Chains A and B, each alone.
Chain A
């Protein structure tokens, strides 16, 4: 009778013995007898005889580098196999949308840029486009081309960072340094055109804030000359790496149909082979002037997502080149003085310009009542802005349909029944930006 002691007795004996034992010694008191001979392999649970495995719930995050921000993943594990994931978000909710309602239209741009903090040009553009649609403003062609050039540089920077941190999650530190090195080239261009490296506030309602400085085009050309070679280097670095391939190929599978049901867009949807890109499908900001391809994947695993992002960066280089080649002459912002600030030199000579400047800076401009929804293709998918104007100088509601927020819903399905290391790869290749998710 005394020999057949229950499991809990043994555990309590062990823990009782552990008290009073020095910390380092305690590890030896942990008995490994009840662990199975064979570890859990794949998805099948070992049930025979004495060996049993119980479900184990852990929190991954909120503070963990592999969660790309402050994301908490309540994960249920069976051995090494992920059985269920519940993403818990809201840790960086800062009420940006609420704050937007308290600021004039042109001051809101600064706020919305801080939502998805790796794709700030996109946030600014979608908001500006929504206001422009309510005001019925035409954006001059030069501004549209400048916007496209900056957007695509931003897309490269964002994808690079996604790739760099994603590779870091799987243990490839080199990719982090290389990716950040080349992202710096993109940030240098932003600094040159707007004075800021991040959150540039370069896009303005009706155009862009300032014309590009002399030499910017030359520097941008150097950038797009160097980037394709660098992208080939990344591909050579990762595409033959055994660890990378094993972690990405065939993991995080999700079907096109399920993606569409879940509203997943962007590289994740394209990786499943569905060529949905708003730049092609519903062109905005003169994207229909440019010749580019929409890269798609084959089966929708993490490897396809990686390849789609690489190819998108190559296509972005093509778009930037065409935008620089075809950059039209002309104004860089609308000449509607009720919306855009007058040029600086007019202030010294024109009373009207001075009045307009004063009114714009103090009161802002009023937007006629109405509501609109505008969507663009951000590096992570469909970024939408829902804007309600009530006729005052402040928006009544700014709501962003953030792609990360919607795409995150697919994470539990991607990660289900995969190994925990593949699960980390899924998070990395999902590329969620928590600033955008929580807003």
Chain B
């Protein structure tokens, strides 16, 4: 794991390469280093980190989350890994809930394909340029983004043959 100083060095490297406005902050919490990045700069920052002098060549995971009372509400996290140095680095960006857009990183990290689809499915974040952005876990005709914190748990009618015509869009 890069320590707090190492994280600042990485952040400075990104600022030099991509631009000072790309990094909105750094967070070192519980031995975990996270770069906070502006949404528009996610793609150039990840491209820089992948090809940096000390590269982060693997994207191990991509998460969405919803910080409901806070603004901007949505967060997308990228977990980078360097297998050579055995280090991890988080890259985090925050998005507003109205029409959230991010650039896809599938061309940098092909593993992001399913994971971006999952974030789109669960949080409604649209990844521009994704080759096949469809719902992945929920049904294709599903309305809403179920992992958002204001989406209620339960209360969803179960479709049977006797009641299917009472609910909208059952035929699609």
Contact = CB atoms under 8 A, between A and B. Distances in A.
Interface of A: 89-90, 93, 95, 97-99, 101-102, 133-134, 136, 260-264, 276, 281-282, 370-373, 375, 382, 384, 386, 388, 390, 396-397, 399, 401, 405-406, 408-409, 438-439
12 contacts: A89-B137, A90-B138, A102-B153, A134-B30, A261-B110, A262-B110, A263-B110, A388-B65, A396-B149, A397-B66, A409-B114, A438-B137
B29 interface: yes
B147 interface: yes
B83 A133 contact: no
B145 to A, nearest CB: 11
A408 B32 CA distance: 28
B128 to A, nearest CB: 20
A276 B147 CA distance: 32
B113 interface: yes
A397 B88 CA distance: 20
Contact of A263 (B29, B30, B58, B153): B58
Interface string B24-63: 0000011110100000000000000000000001111101
A133 B61 CA distance: 19
B110 A384 contact: no
Contacts of B153: 95, 98-99, 101-102
B60 A375 contact: yes
B4 interface: no
Contacts of A382: 60
Contacts of A399: 63-65
B146 A263 contact: no
A408 B114 contact: yes
B60 A93 contact: no
A409 B65 contact: no
Contacts of B151: 98
Contact of B60 (A98, A99, A401): A401
A386 B63 contact: yes
B57 A93 contact: no
A133 B109 CA distance: 28
Given A370-B29, A384-B61, A405 B83 contact: no
A130 to B, nearest CB: 10
A378 to B, nearest CB: 13
Nearest to A134: B30
Contact of A98 (B109, B139, B146): B146
A406 B135 CA distance: 16
Given A102-B153, A373-B90, A399-B64, 4 more contacts: A264-B111, A281-B86, A390-B67, A405-B115
Top-5 shortest CB links A-B: A263-B111, A401-B61, A397-B65, A90-B137, A93-B137
A263 B109 contact: yes
Contact of A386 (B61, B83, B138): B61
In this complex, the member of B31, B64, B147 whose beta carbon has the largest number of chain A beta carbons within 10 angstroms is B147
B77 interface: yes
A98 to B, nearest CB: 6
Nearest to A384: B61
A375 B65 CA distance: 18
Contacts of B149: 101, 396
A31 to B, nearest CB: 39
